[in-house]
Amino acid sequence: MFEFIKEFFIEYNDMFPVIMLSLKVSLTSTLIASILGMVSGVATALNEFKLKRTLMRVTNTLMSLPPVLIGLLVYMLLSRKGPLGSLGLLFSPTAMIISQSLLVFPIIFGLTVSNISESAKEIQLTCMSLGASKNDTLKAIISECRMQLLSIVTAGFGRAISEVGAVMMVGGNIKAKTRVMTTYIALETGKGNFNEAVFIGIVLLFISFFINTVLYRLQRRE
């Protein structure tokens, strides 16, 4: 086992950019999706409007959307003949971030609406009764629901970092450019290099374990 780890540290230079790009793409897309998803989620949770139920049904469908479909959509948008082809973003980390943001957004939005609806309304009424401004009310809702929101972000991040179909399609799995942990595992498994694939798999698990530990500690502290 020790020799196995040693060997991989010798190959460290190859692995490190893959891990870092994975984190960069997944964290950035989770951040974008979280900001947009939470703000729109809180607004939707607080307001009643005609098409709310339809919106939630569509959101629930999008939450379980296969990543390859998102990959296909972004690919068509960014390909040379597509409407955004002139931007030249296909096979770049930016394209990967776009596709993962689209994938994570419905999860953050949907879970925010369903998880905080009741408490958000209660907090809103309390804030209004105490003379809080709209800004103060929004801050209070986010602060009071922070643990639920943190769990939702973690779920979103889990979806992003473990996703392979969309990033493979729009990133192209180009070495040292768009290769991330999941596409690396898929490639190495196909080549029969199970040691490398397993090592990256362990790194993925470790990242997930680390994030869940931080979340658990925060919840305990609350």
Which one, 131 or 190, has the nearer CB to other proteins?
A: 131
CB–CB of 113/150 below 8 Å?
no
Contact 110, 38 (CB under 8 A): no
Give the CA count within 13 Å in the CB-facing half-sphere of 84: 11
Pick 33 or 145: Cβ nearer other proteins: 145
For other proteins, give the closer residue by CB, 7 or 122. Answer: 122
What is the nearest approach in angstroms of other proteins to the Cβ of residue 122? Answer: 5
135-155 b/e with 16+ CB inside 10 Å = b?
eebbebbbebbeeebbbbbbe
- Least distance to other proteins from the beta carbon of 55, Å? 21
Least spacing, CB of residue 38 vs other proteins, in Å? 18
Nearer to other proteins by Cβ, of 65 and 142: the residue is 142
Which amino acid, 154?
A: T
State the residues that interact with other proteins by CB under 8 A.
Answer: 119, 122-123, 125-133, 136, 140, 143-144, 222
Which residues touch 202 (CB under 8 Å, ≥6 apart)? none
